[in-house]
Structure 1
Amino acid sequence: MAHKVIIAGGGTGGHIFPAIAIANALKKIEPGIEILFVGAVGKMEMEKVPQAGYKIEGLEIVGFNRSNIFKNLLLPFKLFKSLRKARSIIREFKPDVAVGVGGFASFPILRAAQKMGIPTLIQEQNSYAGKSNKILAKKAVKVCVGYDGMEQFFPAAKIIQTGNPVRSNITQSDVTKEDALKYFDLVNGKKTVFSVGGSLGAKSINEALLPHLQTFVAKDVQLIWQTGKPFYQTALEAAKPFASHVKVFEFINVMDFAYKAADVVISRAGALAIAELCVAKKPVIFVPYPFAAEDHQTANAMNLVNKKAALMIKDNDVRIQLTNEVFSLLQNNALVEQLEKNITPLGNTHADMTIAKTVLEIIKK
């Protein structure tokens, strides 16, 4: 009989794409396996998971709102409702194991699974573990982590350092730089910057770039700019006079092309972005999102900065420092080479398969 796996979590591309990578790896090892995703209603996973060919159920769950305390009044009610729905999904699907990848839907499903005697695996992507995963880890069978030093959050005996899963179109990409530049209608031989603020965009990075588009043209530097939905129209209008050098996108599906085209990347410091940049071996300037839970993006970025594998600018300094730092890095060949050399060994192209094998080992025990 086919094994059954629930994969729960989402909210952003940083949770969804690793989850899909794990699902694809499970299918590769055991083609007949049944996989059900559980996400949060209204979030990105409800669109991206079916596009990847998987079924998904939605929970009415939201995270703790740090900016508006009053919005949290309904949180206990929504959590109770989600736990009840989670139990009903588990009863109906009868999974052999439940995998949590982080994000709103992860907690209710794994909590319900643990109470119903179903083994659970946590995939903790960040270098600073979130509260939910610390609670869930007590009853989880295994915790797959992307960083070293995670014994401070989880029982050492349960930890497997797998690295973070990266989409196969990035790990197995054979696109050339010439093809990548051509795809974005850019010129080969000119320095190119790729700015990516995560799947939803990054307001501070976008606002820091906006007044300096003319400088990109003046310095003959090309910019691939993924803005996210909220800033897209503003950026598109602003970039019109500089269309030869500045290419604006709401969302880029072919990330392997964008990484290959770039000489330098500007990025948030989510775990997925870091895992991808390590595989792509790119010099990067991180601008960590300061409101991430427990400020984990700063911890993620510092993990690379301390290894001299990346540069970092604080979010509140980004408007003043970003473009100067970018143009300075493009001129500094020695620093570019050092960053490339030090980020290369941190790339992990097999994390998805390692996690998938661990999931199947749990089932077979």
Structure 2
Amino acid sequence: FALDATKKTLLVLGGSLGSRRINQLIAKELDFITNQNIQVIWQCGKLYFDEYSHFNEKPNVKVVSFVDRMDLAYAAADIIISRAGASSVSELCLVGKPVIFIPSPNVAEDHQTKNAKAIVDKNGAILLKESELDGKFQPVFSHLIDDENHQIELGNQIRKLAKPNATQDIVKEINKLIKK
């Protein structure tokens, strides 16, 4: 990603197709973020890459349509902004880094908010609703960046919720049921 190892890194994820609202937020707040000595890996989605790729001209910003090596992106990240789909939440629990979830309100039964809230209720992440972004993003982000203890606590708590052996556990339960 051609990053500066001395700077903290924000990883922004909006899903493979991208998130219009997260992209709008990052475009609006990019100067605010980078002025805090933060560099950004911004996965904007293939639908939005042409619209946001010009931000690659800014120092400390790497805009990509899709991240092929999520392992490297997660390793580089100090803080992550993400949607809260089930797969994303599961992965982020394993990653164990501080996360700001911005759930999509446009999904069945608002399940992304429920997914995020399950983590937030265990002090493992921060939840910002799309409707709150304009008024709350800057103070929430600043507080997180300024408080390394909070970052560590969020990372530790979300990691506790990881289920690294979920597939094996499910297979064991199925086998128990079959034997009955």
Q: Normalized against structure 1, the TM-score is what?
A: 0.46
CA distance 1:293–1:357, shift in 2 (3 Å): same
Provide the secondary structure at the position in 1 that maps to 2:12.
strand
Structure 1 residue 283 corresponds to structure 2 residue 98: yes
Pick the structure with greater CA Rg: 1
> Larger helix proportion, structure 1 or 2?
2
Task: Select the residue among 111, 129, 151 that pairs with 1:296.
Answer: 111
**Partner amino acid, structure 2, of 1:219:** Q
* Alpha-carbon separation, structure 2, partners of 1:327 and 1:316: 19
Task: Select the residue among 175, 178, 194 that pairs with 2:11.
Answer: 194
Structure 1 residue 240 corresponds to structure 2 residue 56: yes
Post-superposition shift, 1:219?
A: 2.4
| Aligned match of 2:145 | 330
| Aligned match of 1:273 | 88
Matched ranges for 1:33-44 at <5 A: none
* Alpha-carbon separation, structure 2, partners of 1:240 and 1:310: 28
Provide the secondary structure at the position in 2 that maps to 1:329.
helix
Deviations 1:101-157 (A, max 9, x none): xxxxxxxxxxxxxxxxxxxxxxxxxxxxxxxxxxxxxxxxxxxxxxxxxxxxxxxxx
CA distance 1:360–1:250, shift in 2 (3 Å): farther
Post-superposition shift, 1:362?
A: 6.4
Task: Select the residue among 29, 37, 44 that pairs with 1:220.
Answer: 37
Post-superposition shift, 1:320?
A: 3.5
Aligned 8 A contact 2:38 2:60 in 1? yes
Aligned 8 A contact 2:124 2:153 in 1? yes
* Alpha-carbon separation, structure 1, partners of 2:12 and 2:102: 11
CA distance 1:323–1:261, shift in 2 (3 Å): farther
**Structure 2: 5+ residue runs without aligned partners?**
none
Aligned 8 A contact 1:221 1:245 in 2? yes
**Partner amino acid, structure 2, of 1:340:** G
CA distance 1:189–1:205, shift in 2 (3 Å): same
CA distance 1:250–1:203, shift in 2 (3 Å): same
* Alpha-carbon separation, structure 1, partners of 2:139 and 2:71: 26
Deviations 1:30-84 (A, max 9, x none): xxxxxxxxxxxxxxxxxxxxxxxxxxxxxxxxxxxxxxxxxxxxxxxxxxxxxxx
Aligned residues: 180
| Aligned match of 2:156 | 341
* Alpha-carbon separation, structure 2, partners of 1:188 and 1:327: 21
Aligned CA RMSD, in angstroms, stands at 1.9
Provide the secondary structure at the position in 2 that maps to 1:308.
coil
* Alpha-carbon separation, structure 2, partners of 1:208 and 1:295: 20
**Partner amino acid, structure 2, of 1:284:** V
| Aligned match of 1:249 | 64
Post-superposition shift, 1:330?
A: 1.2
Matched ranges for 1:60-75 at <5 A: none
* Alpha-carbon separation, structure 2, partners of 1:216 and 1:359: 47
Aligned 8 A contact 1:204 1:319 in 2? no
* Alpha-carbon separation, structure 1, partners of 2:177 and 2:84: 31
* Alpha-carbon separation, structure 2, partners of 1:234 and 1:323: 23
Structure 1 residue 229 corresponds to structure 2 residue 46: yes
Post-superposition shift, 1:217?
A: 3.3
Q: Normalized against structure 2, the TM-score is what?
A: 0.90
Aligned 8 A contact 2:56 2:63 in 1? no
* Alpha-carbon separation, structure 1, partners of 2:56 and 2:71: 25
* Alpha-carbon separation, structure 1, partners of 2:113 and 2:4: 34
Structure with greater contact order relative to length (CA < 8 Å, sep ≥ 6): 2
Post-superposition shift, 1:352?
A: 2.0
Percent of aligned positions that are identical? 38
**Partner amino acid, structure 2, of 1:312:** L
